[in-house]
Amino acid sequence: MSSRVQWNWLFRWPPGIALTTLRYFLRPLPTHRVDEHEIVVVPELPEGCGSGIQTPERGSGRLFHRRYSVRIGSSLLEPEQLMCRLMADPNAAVPSEAALFETDVDHDSLRFGEELVVRMPGPWDGPVRVVHTSPTSFRLATLYGHLEAGQIEFRAARHHEELLFAIESWARSSDGTVDLFYDGINLFKELQTYLWARYCERVCELCGGQLVRNVEIYTGCER
């Protein structure tokens, strides 16, 4: 990554970071956290994903496995209906102060190979590509120029009377500067936690159901 790209985000993120940080403290979410050391295994990329993918091997710092999940009671949507909504409009559950998915493609659902740009007020602003879809899930991989290196998956399932929704990622920082803010002082990691925990909360609202207990947040990383 060029030094110009490497440092540009430092001049873009302050306003968004300030607003997100303010809401982080003023509107705490009910969460339960588990942190462990693990050998992180990244899902294999399917064939035909194309070039330009920024895999974790090209990143810097420790490799993280993170999962944000919720149990939703009395959901008005089935898993397939929920994911259909999210794939038709990736911004349907995104907290607007923290992120925005942008795409030039005009159709009613995410498709394999489609590229988007995720606008965030931290070091996650960058291009991604859809590398997997199913009726109940989709997965994105980071592309060159993104300030993370890895994959993130969104999925839903039914368990008895509850709907389960999860966001799971396998990634490391793209370079040492980003890693300092993410894993060194933990600022960006906490803001990332807020973003996806809020996303999970908004999914509950989208389903017309109720959050059962907490947003579960799991973080596993290499020693």
pLDDT tens sequence across 141-165 = 999 988 899 999 999 999 999 999 9
Q: Looking at residues 70-76, what average pLDDT do you find? A: 98
| Pair of tokens at residue 40 | 């992180």
Which residues are 29's β-sheet partners?
none
Compute the distance between CA of residue 65 and CA of residue 25 in angstroms, rounded to an integer.
25
pLDDT at 222: 87
CATH superfamily of 3-42+51-221: START domain (3.30.530.20)
How many CB atoms within 10 Å of residue 180? Answer: 16
Q: Round the average pLDDT of the chain to a whole number and report it.
A: 88
Q: Looking at residues 157-177, what average pLDDT do you find? A: 96
pTM for this prediction: 0.88
Is residue 100 pLDDT above 90, yes or no? no
Is residue 120 pLDDT above 80, yes or no? no
Q: Looking at residues 8-26, what average pLDDT do you find? A: 55
What percentage of the chain reaches a pLDDT higher than 90? 67
More confident of the two residues 146 and 107: 146
CA dihedral 209, 166, 52, 92 (to 10 degrees): 10
Compute the distance between CA of residue 79 and CA of residue 97 in angstroms, rounded to an integer.
26
Is residue 92 pLDDT above 90, yes or no? yes
Please measure the distance between the N-terminal and C-terminal CA atoms of the chain and give it in whole angstroms: 26
